[in-house]
């Protein structure tokens, strides 16, 4: 696999994780139930993809700004990890301001990354 293809695949995984985080609460709950995991899995999937993109950034094929577009999501997830464990409950996914903010950040990041990849 070429370096360019590795970078593209990493960004596609990041976009997939971002889209899940941007989805409404019912879609997110259905997603984790289908996987048989808790809501924290969405954060773990994002983290894996974010770190993968970080690892391939600078090889010359990714537009600058992909990491910066996704960083607010990473920052929000870091803040959420310092909160009580209840933030990772399905009830919290549906009703907490932390998850609402995360969805807004993810929506903006997804649009920004997609625009960067289309230029």
* pLDDT, position 77: 97
Q: What percent of the chain has pLDDT over 70?
A: 94
pLDDT tens digits, one per residue of 67-116? 899 999 999 999 999 988 899 999 999 999 999 999 999 999 999 999 98
* pLDDT, position 17: 98
Long-range pairs of 5-8 with CB within 8 A, sequence gap ≥ 24: 6/56, 6/59, 7/53, 7/56, 7/57, 7/59, 7/61, 7/62, 8/61
Binning pLDDT at 50, 70 and 90, where does residue 19 land? very high
* pLDDT, position 7: 77
Its pTM stands at 0.92
Binning pLDDT at 50, 70 and 90, where does residue 2 land? low
Query: Using an 8 Å Cβ cutoff, are 20 and 31 in contact?
Result: yes
Domain boundaries, the chain: 3-117
């Amino acid at each position: 696999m070429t370096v360019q293809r590795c970078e593209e695949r990493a960004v596609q995984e990041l976009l997939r994780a971002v889209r899940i985080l941007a989805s409404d609460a019912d879609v997110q709950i259905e997603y984790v139930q289908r996987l048989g995991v808790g809501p924290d899995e969405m954060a773990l999937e994002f983290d894996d993809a974010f770190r993968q993109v970080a690892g391939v950034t600078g090889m010359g094929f990714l537009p600058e700004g992909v990491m910066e577009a996704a960083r607010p999501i990473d920052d929000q997830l870091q803040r959420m990890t310092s909160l009580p464990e209840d933030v990772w409950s399905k009830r919290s996914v549906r009703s907490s301001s932390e998850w609402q903010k995360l969805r807004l950040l993810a929506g903006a990041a997804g649009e920004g990354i997609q625009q960067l990849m289309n230029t």
